[in-house]
Amino acid sequence: MPSFHATSVRTRLAMTACAAGLLVLTTACGSGDDPDGAEASDGTITVANFAGAGITLPDQLAASEGFFEEQGITADFVQVTSAGTQLAALTSGSIDVAQNAVGQVMAAQQQGQDVRLFCGGVSKAWNVVMVKDDSPIETVDPADWREGFKALEGTTFGLDSLGAGQEAYFRSLAAEAGADIDSINLVAVGTVGEAAATLSSGRVDAIFGYPFVQQSEVAAGNARVAIDIVNSGEQLPYHTGYFASAEWLDANADLARGFCEAIGEADTFMADPANLDTVVSFLADDFGLDRAVAEQFAGPDGVTPIYSPDLDCTAIDLSAEQAETAKLVDAEPALRCEDMIWDGIDG
């Protein structure tokens, strides 16, 4: 059984009509009329979805393979485009469950929102630095990633959003490398296609690459990996997780545990070589990936092992320190794993 929770689930994919109005989400889109955590008696969970981003693969696969449905859950996916809009929707009651890095949970708690992690998402660093194929920024050996970061001084670097997990991670890596962070212009470029288009346009010199923008853009010859932090041989701290308001979790404890069971089942499913063809077809059909790109992602040398339903307190605490060092959250009150984990995970 995964740390802090169980593992096994099925759900039905229901793309809610609320998805069309991301910035005007209303509480009618949530699982109940009460934004303060009403019980979802019909088993519906409204889940934030960064369309096309690899971070969403476990919940999308859990829906497709019926793992949520086995737990009596209907997953209602609502499109979000940034960490900020996702958090606003969660705290207003428009959505029930969100996923992002530890820093967003810390920021929400420091703003007076009692949100808690209840299931793991990505357990290891997966970001690489991508540049246009003809960029003057040179590709470095993964082990020399620090030198690569120093070469980013004086450039404009694109992050999915500012003030969230990616910025904290970037700043911590730059500090570790000894790079002059003040000389790097950080800008928000959105996710997946938006980020790729911004890089291609030349408005930024480099972006963070991640599944699936990394695989797609490299395969198309539009970009290359300049700094491969993932294969650096170092265990760099990074942790995302699914989180919700404590009130919603307490009111829907069985659903929350069932949700995480489904995520764990999906993680196991995609890592099993026997399911490779199914996973590749799913990535091609539902995420629009070229089949060769999907095979690269899901194959034996792919990155599916980064997904885990476990909540690793060591990684969470390191991620919390990252966010504090980057000054994306206040150092006081200091928040650590025990402050951010829902206490009902194990029932």
Query: For position 40, what pLDDT does the model report?
Result: 61
pLDDT at 24 over 50: no
Distance CA 196, CA 338 (A): 37
Distance CA 255, CA 119 (A): 12
pLDDT at 22 over 60: no
State pLDDT tens for residues 244-290.
Answer: 999 999 999 999 999 999 999 999 999 999 999 999 999 999 888 88
pLDDT at 3 over 90: no
State pLDDT tens for residues 84-109.
Answer: 888 889 988 999 999 988 988 998 99
State pLDDT tens for residues 183-240.
Answer: 999 999 987 788 899 999 999 999 998 877 887 888 888 999 999 988 888 867 778 9
Query: For position 154, what pLDDT does the model report?
Result: 98
Q: What is the mean pLDDT of the chain?
A: 85
pLDDT at 20 over 60: no
Query: For position 192, what pLDDT does the model report?
Result: 74
Confidence of residue 159 (pLDDT cuts 50, 70, 90): very high
State pLDDT tens for residues 36-84.
Answer: 556 666 899 999 998 778 889 999 999 999 999 999 999 999 988 777 8
Q: What predicted TM-score, i.e. pTM, was given to this entire model?
A: 0.79
Confidence of residue 296 (pLDDT cuts 50, 70, 90): confident
Written in H, E and C, the secondary structure of the chain is CCCCCCCCCEEEEEECHHHHHHHHCCHHHCCCCCCCCCCCCCCEEEEEECCCCHHHHHHHHHHHCCEEHHHCEEEEEEECCCHHHHHHHHHHCCCCEEEEEHHHHHHHHHCCCCEEEEEECECCCCCEEEEECCCCCCCCCHHHHHHHHHCCCCCEEEECCCCCHHHHHHHHHHHHHCCCHHHCEEEECCCCHHHHHHHHHCCCCEEEECCCHHHHHHHCCCEEEEECCCCCCCCCCCCEEEEEEHHHHHHCHHHHHHHHHHHHHHHHHHHCHHHHHHHHHHHHHHCCCCHHHHHHHHCCCCCHHHECCCCCHHHHHHHHHHHHHCCCCCCCCCCCHHHHECCCCCC
